[in-house]
Amino acid sequence: MSQRNVTHQIKLPLSLTIILGLIAFGLVVNVLKPVFAVDKANAAETLTSVEVRKIVEGWCRVSKRSLRIYCDKKR
């Protein structure tokens, strides 16, 4: 006797396919979430714009007329 193979194919509607794809995407994103985690930085103190400008002037040349900063040396 010969063996018969019976296969059943189920056609999913497009909307169900999209929903299942979004669920799979959400699961993958949740698994990879710790890899892309960025911790928030906490500033030790708050600086005014004048203080920031003095710090930058110590590292670079700051144009007086415009907002251009020229850095020649490395920190």
pLDDT digits (tens, 9 = 90+) for 14-48: 999 999 999 999 999 888 887 777 777 776 778 88
- pLDDT the model gives residue 28: 93
Asked whether residue 17 is assigned to any structural domain, the reply reads no
- Number of structural domains in the chain: 1
Return the number of other C-beta atoms located less than 10 Å from residue 29's C-beta: 10
- Cα–Cα distance for residue pair 72/62, rounded to 1 Å: 11
Asked whether residue 16 is assigned to any structural domain, the reply reads no
The pTM is what? Answer: 0.39
What is the maximal distance between C-alpha atoms in the chain?
A: 96
Asked whether residue 26 is assigned to any structural domain, the reply reads no
- Cα–Cα distance for residue pair 75/59, rounded to 1 Å: 7
Q: Where are the beta strands (DSSP E) in 1-75?
A: 61-62, 69-70
